[in-house]
Amino acid sequence: MRRLLFENDYEMREMRKVSDTQPLLSLHDVRASFRTPNGIVHAVRGVSMELKQGQIYGLIGETGSGKSVLGLTIPGLLPAEAEVSGSIVYKGQSLLELDPRSRRKLRGRDIALIPQNPASSLNPVLSIGYQLLEAIRLYGRIGRKEAREQAIGLLEELGLPEPRRQLRAYPFQLSGGMKQRVLAAIGTAGAPSLLIADEPTKGLDAVVRNQVASLLRAAARRTGAAMLVITHDLHVARALCDRIGVMYAGQIVEEAAAAELFVSPRHPYTRGLLGSLPGRGMAAIPGASPSLTEMLPGCAFHPRCGERLALCAAAQPQLQAIAMRQDGGRKGEADSAGCKARCFLYDSGRASEQTVSERTMEPASVPGR
Ligand SMILES: Nc1ncnc2c1ncn2[C@@H]1O[C@H](COP(=O)(O)OP(=O)(O)OP(=O)(O)O)[C@@H](O)[C@H]1O
Ligand code: NI
């Protein structure tokens, strides 16, 4: 048994040696759906994206847009009845083609997930120390004593007061913020190459939220891990992430460097989402997200879009790179991958076909209003 473990560890280390130019993770046309009594729910509808080594990528978007399902698809943690297609390549291995055993081996050690709900993700009957040590030892083949020292160090780094005492505590004895930090410690304990954090700051007050965000950033920088951060919290997304993907109805509708997205959002949905921030008018986007069971033709956002073109109800825009503007409108540190939007407004070929009267037509009637 020990020998096997050793060989696995060796393989793990070998697998980490991927070149910096290759993306750590690349998704191509990933789809996930669920068969339900009310029909098939198309939760993720053709997501393509890349995550580089050490990069922090944020997924934002309204509730139900498919962020968590996408996050669970990568480590293969969706319920068995989910149907997944497309390709997910992690360090050159096609995850959807891996046998369940190999995939399980990757989880926890190489790909770690901090799930959406901290209250239910810690085991209530086991001490914090036990759970953290398990995570450390799963990766490191080290003795209990050494693991314990590492655990204390990790909690110290995460700013938890009295780490020695916290190890003996049970989850119910910790505040929400402390549990989040313990989860962050467990998530980063095995020094994973990829950490997926689903709503790591949910339900926390502003101070603790910023603390958790900067701790995650520090942990990622320390270990060199790439992170996929799923969040509703646009402030956290901005502070924590290098790059951001905006999800709407199971698709990425815009992707840009975090610094750029908040300064010049392109997709009408992103503009609406940012417009709902307290500092920006707090105007909610009228209407509701579409049904994911019966998808209409055209752009999924068109019924709610104030800038739609005649074309938008009929055809699906693709996620495409946006050309740099001549007027210097694109300032700041743009990521090399640039900015992408899934919108005919930026599809130069198509949009120029539209007449001015088509462009200024009345906004669509909004369902559910
Ligand atoms: N096991 C499941 N069976 C059926 N439908 C599901 C299942 N899991 C998720 N869904 C549906 O998939 C869609 C996307 O859900 P998901 O949890 O990914 O949204 P989200 O963007 O993470 O939302 P939130 O921000 O509220 O967490 C939703 O319509 C949801 O109801
Ligand atoms: Ni979610």
What digits encode the pLDDT tens for the residues 96-155? 999 989 988 888 678 988 877 766 778 889 999 998 888 888 766 788 888 899 889 888
User: Atom 18, ligand 1: which residue's CA is nearest?
Assistant: 66
Provide CATH 3.40.50.300 ranges for the chain.
2-241, 246-359
Partners of 49 in beta bridges: 27
Distance from C-alpha of 22 to C-alpha of 228, rounded to nearest angstrom: 17
Ion ligand 2 nearby residues (CB, 5 A): 67-68
Helical ranges in 169-292 per DSSP H: 176-189, 206-223, 234-240, 258-263, 268-275
**Is domain 2-241 annotated with CATH 3.40.640.10?**
no
Partners of 32 in beta bridges: 44, 84
User: Atom 14, ligand 1: which residue's CA is nearest?
Assistant: 66
Ligand 1 site, residue 59, Cβ cutoff 6 A: no
Distance from C-alpha of 349 to C-alpha of 346, rounded to nearest angstrom: 9
Ligand 1 atom nearest 250 alpha carbon:
14
Ligand 1 site, residue 36, Cβ cutoff 6 A: yes
Ligand 1 site, residue 43, Cβ cutoff 6 A: yes
Ligand 1 site, residue 44, Cβ cutoff 6 A: no
Ligand 1 site, residue 124, Cβ cutoff 6 A: no
- pLDDT digit string (tens) for 290-301? 899 988 899 999
CATH class entry, domain 246-359: alpha beta
pTM for the model: 0.83
User: Atom 29, ligand 1: which residue's CA is nearest?
Assistant: 64
- In this structure, what DSSP letter does residue 170 have? -
What SS3 class is residue 320? strand
- pLDDT digit string (tens) for 275-328? 877 777 777 888 888 899 988 899 999 999 999 999 999 999 999 998 765 444
State mean pLDDT over 83-100: 95
User: Atom 16, ligand 1: which residue's CA is nearest?
Assistant: 66
